[in-house]
Amino acid sequence: MICIQDVSMTFPIPKKYIDYLFFRRSRYFQALTNVNLTIEDGDRVAFLGVNGAGKTTLLKLIGGLLYPSLGMIEVNRYDTVKDNINSRNSVGFVLNEERSFYWRLSGFENLEFFGILDNLHGDLLRDKIRELIRLVGLDGAENKQVATYSSGMKQRLALARGLLRDPKILILDEPTRTLDPKAVIEIKSLISSKIHSSTKRTLLIATHRFDEAEELCNKVCIMNKGQVLVCDTVESIKSKHSTIESFYHNVMNENNSSLCISR
């Protein structure tokens, strides 16, 4: 279970030379404001929102990569600040970043390197890598340089990397952002049929794709300007709205209207 209580997050805005010259005070960007959320074991939650809404920041806080400025996050009863190592042990990340691998190394060598960083070693690590290579469908390509991989293959490798520690919680940040339509279908199928169904792990997915939210998740959280506007089940949403997309636009329009009125 993941419990998020009154979490706020601020980042310092880097100063320019002129700011130092005139002794201007440091400025801060409010990335999250008073976020409260509970995620049950086995939930598959889609986080929807425009760029800068706070989705990735919230996921990094849950994963223990960042510490909240205010509030508390517990992952499987471990405080992400006080018990950071224990909380992080149950979380795997799949980040959509082109530079997240060493391109001159093979897929197998990359997984071996990151496995060692996760304190996995020897035959146990190599057997785990072979198992994951089969799971994500990279059989026959594991000894090729990552530089030769297609975008879809890199994303499969990223999924394998995120699963190295067999995490109870898997965080996916826009898992199909750079993929072509065929690869999108393949990755969605891989996530739904193998990565979640076989293990019942918790999935947290930041996405801009409404089809991903509907097909891969059982809950949807909509974020805007650092706040969670609403979090509801896909079943409940579809009983009141024709699509996830229409629900999203309705929530966003209501939020923007209330902001205009308050001003």
Greatest alpha-carbon span in the chain? 63
pLDDT digits (tens, 9 = 90+) for 81-98: 999 999 998 898 887 665
Residue with tokens 């190592």: 85
Residue pair 175/191 in contact (Cβ under 8 Å)? The answer is yes
H/E stretch holding 87 = helix 84-88
Helix and strand numbers (H, E) in the chain are 10, 10
pLDDT digits (tens, 9 = 90+) for 102-127: 889 999 999 999 999 888 889 999 99
Q: What is the mean predicted confidence (pLDDT) over 133-161?
A: 90
pLDDT at residue number 127 = 93
* Band of pLDDT at residue 197, cut at 50, 70 and 90: low
pLDDT digits (tens, 9 = 90+) for 231-242: 999 999 988 888
145: Cα separation from own chain's centroid: 26
Residue with tokens 């209207």: 257
Residue in 66, 125, 72, 126 with CA at minimum distance from that of residue 91: 66
H/E stretch holding 104 = none
pLDDT at residue number 101 = 87
- The better pLDDT of the pair 32, 195 is held by 32
- The better pLDDT of the pair 21, 158 is held by 158
pLDDT at residue number 84 = 92
pLDDT digits (tens, 9 = 90+) for 208-251: 989 889 888 999 999 999 999 999 999 999 888 888 999 999 99
Q: What is the pTM of this model?
A: 0.86
220: Cα separation from own chain's centroid: 14
**Distance, CA of 144 to CA of 87 (rounded, Å):** 34
Residue pair 195/158 in contact (Cβ under 8 Å)? The answer is no
Which domains occur in the chain, in start order? 2-90+169-262 (3.40.50.300), 99-166 (no CATH)
Joined tokens for residue 115: 């496995």
Strands (E), the chain: 2-13, 27-39, 44-48, 70-75, 78-79, 91-95, 169-173, 202-206, 219-224, 227-233
pLDDT at residue number 96 = 65
Looking at 146-155, 176-185, 228-237, which range is the least confident one? 176-185
